[in-house]
Structure 1
Amino acid sequence: MFCIPPSVGVVRSTLLASAAIIISPFAAEAQTERSNLPPVTVTAPEQKRAAVARPPRTAARSARAVRAPTPANPPQVPSEGQGARGALAVLSAQQALTEINNTAGGVAIVPAAAYRNSTVANTIKDVLDYVPGVFAQPKWGDDTRLSIRGSGLSRNFHLRGIQLYMDGIPINTADGYGDFQEIEPTAYKYVEVFKGANALQFGANSLGGAINFVMPTGRDPFPNGASVDFGAFGFKRLQANAGGANGPWDGFVTASTQAADGFRDHSFGSATRVSGNVGYQFSPDAETRFYFNANEVRQRIPGTVTKQSALTNPEAAAPANVANDQQRNIDTVRVANKTTIRFDDTKVEFGAFGVDRHLMHPIFQWLDYSYKDYGGFAKVTDDRFIGGFRNRLVAGVNVLNGSIDNQQFANLGGAKGALQSSSLDRSKNTSLYVEDSFYFLPNVAAIAGTQFLYATRNRQDRFLGNGDQSGATEFNLWSPKAGLLWNIDPTWQAFANISRSAEVPSFGESSSGSGGTRIFDFTKIRPQVATTYEIGTRMKRPDYAWEITAYRANIRDELQCLFGTSAATGTGTCNVANLDRTIHQGIEAGAGAAIFSGIFDNGPAPDKLWLNVAYTFNDFRFDNDPNYRNNLLPGAPRHYLRAELLYKNPTGFYFGPNVEWVPQAYFVDNANTTKTEAYALLGLKAGFDNGGPISAYIEGRNLTNKAYISSTSIINQATATSPLFEPGNGRAVFAGMKYRW
């Protein structure tokens, strides 16, 4: 049965209780969201066409210029909802695709229609599976090991190197770490992926870039709906949303509650989440929108085990995790406002946000952290002709500040013991950015930009039994970029850029020690700085699409968070170090194509057999390191392939197999002595979705019940008994049904 654990704040309880009352069906996007999929994302079954809406004023003004690729013979654009006007602050998926393709680098849009109606959509892996360059592997519950271009490979817990946003509002804490437990994949209309320094507009300057999760509004089509999903390992979820518009007002709310026993022992958990927004349009060119989000998550942690245990007894949990009842529990409330004003050729956006997060985390110690994050942002986009040449200028400022009331207690079988450490950690981050795209030819732009980041970290030690570990530091970092964007035709682009990224270490990476004793000297930790060279091309046409990007990042002072010798004892401590020089380079390639058409139905809308492939080649290595020479960096496969062959009938029926393939084992240690195992997983799914009110699916995963390693922690030198491995899930079947109106 579904479980809603106690001990949440008054505001959080009120929001979650309200969600239970208003829980009503989840909406899906109309034809625009479903037909105009980005490269490498298999299109979901076609939806019914809707009425044509009046295009926004910016679209009419921009018709003079050569814009980013859009599909040939584009479908009719459905109305943005029940109101007379579409939302100004939240773009449709097609508008967002046009906007993101102004980027001279690796980017992607993943519409919800590509995954939400045809999979269980339970983790971020379900969302990003077919985006090349992204490596997302489940660990337990909603937790995932996520890396883009080798970002944060050494972070054996939480997330580093990728900035997460919800409607442009930061999910990461002010000191930089992130979690996935606040992400509900079924709640979004599309997800934007900005790789590396291509995320400049968010103030993100990390190696991996940024991911932005965008919710629908009350002006979107089909704002009401409900869904139920269930399947293997005791998984069950009820999700619903409601919305609508009345004159200048519109509103949307979505809520879900779920629970699962988990594949492994000691991996059961539950989650209740609610998100929504309310908008008011002062005029067709001015809108303000308020956002809220609340989460209550309770999750047991099975832990990492030896390679032999992972492959021969994958359900087993680490004994220490069971004995200490290790958990990760989070309560969160987030509120924000965003105001958008549109002038003739200029759009101005500004807003503010605040987050209250409580982490209750019994592991090697009982971590009790209270986070208070707040900030604001402002952005100006000016797209006009100057002297007969199109010029697009984007500039802005982002402020993200916060504090962590950090207390750690002895973990007595899952209960709090004596206080072991206490501190107040404060972070401040202010980034300013500017990027200009000058079209010196009608279809070729020269792009130049830069970002400046001022960041401080300050710790006030309140537990002096092991010495005073207070301290402070600050960073002043410039991240310039330059590139070219060539719109070869309305559906085809080529691009190249050179960019710099710089990452400031988080507080979690600045702690080290063993046996429960923590040493803190973050003033000796340098920021990670990378210079990345990138070249690529992408195309999107009705029956085929592809993209290919090659990049090389020369990194100085890459942050490595290692367990060192304490990994064998399972203490969970982290020894952070700056590597000297490293190289991350690779190829991100994907393609989608209707390889057969009119197989059984050769009418105006013939049936099709779609092939979708996403391939990532990773070459991450030390660069003449004094200890590890030119060894490969551990933590990610050299080759990673996802492919799907999907038959789609115009009636709405679809089915087909898929495969996940890691053909070569990868190292888990810097010394390159211990590897994972190669694997291939076979899946199959079928369903019905004709664009009407009802859709349903059934999906099988790992049908051969292959024992494999989905994720690893890393270490400087591993042995055969190092507990570094996360077993992947066994054979699983999921099913679900959605109804909308």
Structure 2
Amino acid sequence: MKTLSVLSGAALAALASGLSFAAHAQEEEQSIELPEILVEGRMENPLSGPTSPSYAAGTLTVPGVGEAQEELSRMPGAVSIVPAENYADTYAHDFEDVMDFTPGVYARKRFGAEVRLSVRGSGLSRSFHMRGLEILQDGVPYNLADGAADFQEVDPLIAQHIEVYKGGNGLRFGSVTLGGAINFVTPTGYTAEAENLVRIEGGSYGTARLHSQTARAQGKTDIFAAMTGNYVEGFRKQEQEQSFRFSGNIGHRFNDRAETRFYLISNTVDQELPGTLTLAQSENAPEMANPGNIALNQQRNVRSIRVANKTALDLGDGDVIEFGGYAGYKRLYHPIFRVLDYRGPLAGLFTRYRSEATLGGHRNIFTLGGDFSWSEVDAKQYTNVSGSRGALAASGTQTATNLKLYAENQFYVLEDVALVGGLQGIMSYRKFENDITPARNDREDFNSVSPRAGVLWDFIDNAQVYGNVTRSYEPPTFSELVQATVFQFVPLDPQRAVTFEVG
């Protein structure tokens, strides 16, 4: 309809011009006054995803889709925005459902909500949990300090939009892992689509989901809360899944230049694991589960809670600073060859300063940020007795810390050409203590500085050419350092890569 209206408007304008010219040719003294014709439309953003002509404006702490588009369009690399409306009318159950058509993102379901997720080959060999990517909600990390994460904690229905920072573009959050970062941005009391919303879904294989959310804005304070209950019997045996997820935030504007927002995120996810089948089994009885998985009642169950704060201050003259922190607790109960019972606290602090000014008469955008994270996991393994804990087989403590500092500068040598340079430093610490066999204790530091350089050219409206080269440095997670089958520290080198990108 938009295209037709633009064409119709152009055609009418041309017709009106022709009529006016003909009238003057016949009689110069006679003038014909035509009604004003207004052609309305919008310029498509070069970022993938958006389909709606308008989005609600965000706030200092949580940008809206439009503000996010503007910021991402200044990055000299491939980035994407996926608005929630792109999958709002589908059964978006997991990462595959919401990321399936995002270029550069590989997301394929493994079991239930468990997905193999990879961006540009990150962690491609990993068929469980996740590595090589930063997963965040409103800038608050889901990852433990060692980099591991569980996809099941993320509920797609609580997102306003999803930001995908591929590769070195993850420097926005201090990440220069090969994959980059994926940030789920939740609505606020100002940007939610409705004050009250209830969504009920049901389908085959015992599928049922109930989602509700509420949003209010009163004076300078706003609140948003959403919860989702999900149950899936599954197509295969040993594939039942049930989950309950909650996400809420409350914000307060002190004035037009100062805002703070508090978050509460809670997840309860229980999922059975049906296991893999042979080719003959999958062809003849695809609904069956692996007999070994049934015998051990294999599952992966997660309990987690996080609280966080994010505060933003507009300092004037193009200077904005964000800072905050988070703390939480997570438990993974994971009956497989043994019953893995891993639990422990996590915490972190973050800050980001952005300045937009002129330097030597040229536009200049400077970003400086830092991130500190810590987690400690009490890792215990028990004999698996049909999915229940038997005798204690292994016990240890996994401690990880990360300190990341990063800076990026965009200098516009011309009005539409920017040179981009960035630098990220990381200091990571991994320590493992074996409670039963202290001789297997060990620790290791991972330190590096990774540069980035790029160029961005807005050669015409709504089109860009960019290029960049980025070095990535990724310390190993405890899934590699402390392999479950031997339960001892295995010294490993970090992943290193150099990525060239043109587009």
TM, length-normalised to structure 2: 0.89
Query: Does 1:233 pair with 2:205?
Result: yes
- Counterpart for residue 125 of structure 1: 96
Paired residue for 2:417, among 441, 444, 450?
Answer: 444
Matches of 2:67 and 2:484 in 1, distance apart? Answer: 50
> Cα 1:442–1:405, aligned 2, differ >3 Å: closer, same or farther?
same
Matches of 2:213 and 2:45 in 1, distance apart? Answer: 24
Report deviation, 1:195: 0.7
Higher RCO (Cα < 8 Å, 6 or more apart): 1
Paired residue for 1:167, among 126, 138, 158?
Answer: 138
Paired residue for 1:137, among 89, 108, 111?
Answer: 108
Q: Work out whether residues 48 and 81 of structure 2, in 8 Å CA contact, stay in contact via their aligned partners in 1.
A: no
Matches of 2:385 and 2:54 in 1, distance apart? Answer: 61
- Counterpart for residue 526 of structure 1: 493
SS in 2 for 1:104: coil
Paired residue for 2:338, among 365, 389, 397?
Answer: 365
Matches of 1:40 and 1:379 in 2, distance apart? Answer: 26
- Counterpart for residue 192 of structure 1: 163
Paired residue for 2:224, among 252, 257, 275?
Answer: 252
Give the partner amino acid of 1:171.
Answer: Y
Q: Work out whether residues 36 and 94 of structure 1, in 8 Å CA contact, stay in contact via their aligned partners in 2.
A: no
Query: Does 1:485 pair with 2:469?
Result: no
Report deviation, 1:306: 2.0
Paired residue for 1:107, among 73, 79, 87?
Answer: 79
- Counterpart for residue 6 of structure 2: none
Q: Deviations over 1:681-717 (max 9, x none)?
A: xxxxxxxxxxxxxxxxxxxxxxxxxxxxxxxxxxxxx
Paired residue for 1:422, among 395, 398, 420?
Answer: 395
Report deviation, 1:203: 1.6
Q: Work out whether residues 383 and 393 of structure 1, in 8 Å CA contact, stay in contact via their aligned partners in 2.
A: yes
> Cα 1:266–1:272, aligned 2, differ >3 Å: closer, same or farther?
same
- Counterpart for residue 151 of structure 1: 122
Q: Work out whether residues 38 and 110 of structure 1, in 8 Å CA contact, stay in contact via their aligned partners in 2.
A: no
Paired residue for 1:41, among 26, 49, 63?
Answer: 49
Matched ranges for 1:58-137 at <5 A: 75=53, 78=56, 80=57, 86-117=58-89, 119-137=90-108
Q: Work out whether residues 140 and 262 of structure 1, in 8 Å CA contact, stay in contact via their aligned partners in 2.
A: no
- Counterpart for residue 683 of structure 1: none
- Counterpart for residue 25 of structure 2: none
- Counterpart for residue 185 of structure 2: 214
TM, length-normalised to structure 1: 0.61
Matches of 1:39 and 1:180 in 2, distance apart? Answer: 25
- In our comparison, the structure showing a higher alpha carbon Rg is 2
> Cα 1:367–1:222, aligned 2, differ >3 Å: closer, same or farther?
same
Report deviation, 1:388: 1.5
Give the partner amino acid of 1:478.
Answer: V
Q: Deviations over 1:70-104 (max 9, x none)?
A: xxxxx5665x4xxxxx5211111111011111110
Report deviation, 1:513: 7.1
Q: Unpaired runs of 5+ in structure 2? A: 1-41
Matched ranges for 1:575-654 at <5 A: none
Paired residue for 1:300, among 239, 257, 272?
Answer: 272
Matches of 1:346 and 1:485 in 2, distance apart? Answer: 22
- Counterpart for residue 723 of structure 1: none
Query: Does 1:390 pair with 2:363?
Result: yes
Report deviation, 1:519: 4.7
Paired residue for 2:313, among 341, 347, 350?
Answer: 341
> Cα 1:164–1:76, aligned 2, differ >3 Å: closer, same or farther?
closer
Report deviation, 1:313: 2.4
Query: Does 1:499 pair with 2:467?
Result: no
SS in 2 for 1:125: helix
> Cα 1:356–1:77, aligned 2, differ >3 Å: closer, same or farther?
closer
Report deviation, 1:310: 2.7
Matches of 2:169 and 2:484 in 1, distance apart? Answer: 36
Matches of 1:519 and 1:254 in 2, distance apart? Answer: 39
Give the partner amino acid of 1:303.
Answer: G
Report deviation, 1:224: 2.2
> Cα 1:525–1:134, aligned 2, differ >3 Å: closer, same or farther?
same
Q: Work out whether residues 346 and 373 of structure 2, in 8 Å CA contact, stay in contact via their aligned partners in 1.
A: yes
Aligned length: 460
Give the partner amino acid of 1:383.
Answer: E
Query: Does 1:453 pair with 2:420?
Result: no
Q: Percent identity?
A: 39
